[in-house]
Structure 1
Amino acid sequence: MNERNESVFDFPCAFPVKVMGARHDDFHPTVVAIVRRHAPDTPDEAFVLRESSNGNFVSITATINAQSREQLDALYRELSACDLVNMAL
């Protein structure tokens, strides 16, 4: 196996996904819906919402049960394409 094909993760694994955006009423439900399309077994308590100190921005950390690199890639692609999302890490 060459270095490009080796994964640093052993799937399945718990994987935190951090999503940031401007404070908006639709941000939380939109992020939850996107995450659940790719990881449908993610429970409500896996989503942690935090506001910035000035309240203009929010972040959601969702810890999912990641099954594969392909699953994570698809999730990040959809989050990045969402207009409400400024950044996904």
Structure 2
Amino acid sequence: MDIPPEQSLITYPSDFPIKVMGTAVEGFEEAVVAVALQFDPGFHAGRVERRPSKGGNYLGLTLTVTATSRAQLDALYSALSSHPMVKVVL
């Protein structure tokens, strides 16, 4: 369902944080960044915040992407959620 721009809580374009969690394995962060680049070509790894779990088994990443539309964000969430290395997307 499309939300008319005047009813959206987001003004496009804008910086938009997305939290992604997965197992702390080699290649996880790179895989998530690769997905983000598909939807935000200007995204770079310097816009990733890392938070390892207390036990070090999981890694939480906050990606700040440039949101240009609701459709872009929906597609990005879908791609991240379906990635085999990703456990949760918020």
TM-score (norm 1): 0.91
User: Gapped runs of 5+ residues in structure 1?
Assistant: none
How far does the alpha carbon of each residue in 1:68-87 deviate from its partner, in whole angstroms, 9 at most, with x for none? 00000000000010111000
Query: Structure 2 regions of 5+ residues with no counterpart?
Result: none
Partner residue in 2 for 1:84: 85
2:55 is paired with a residue whose SS is coil
Identity %: 37
Provide the aligned length of Structure 1 versus Structure 2.
86
1:27-63 Cα distance to aligned partner (Å, 9 max, x none):
1110000001101101221011110011000011110
Give the TM-score of the pair, scaled to structure 2. 0.90
Residue of structure 2 in register with 1:42 after alignment: 43
Separation in structure 2 between the aligned mates of residue 84 and residue 14 of structure 1, nearest angstrom: 24
| Residue 26 (structure 1) shift | 1.8
For the residues of structure 2 that align with 1:72 and 1:59, how far apart are their CA atoms? 19
Alignment-mate amino acid for residue 21 of structure 1: G
Secondary structure of residue in 2 paired with 1:53: coil
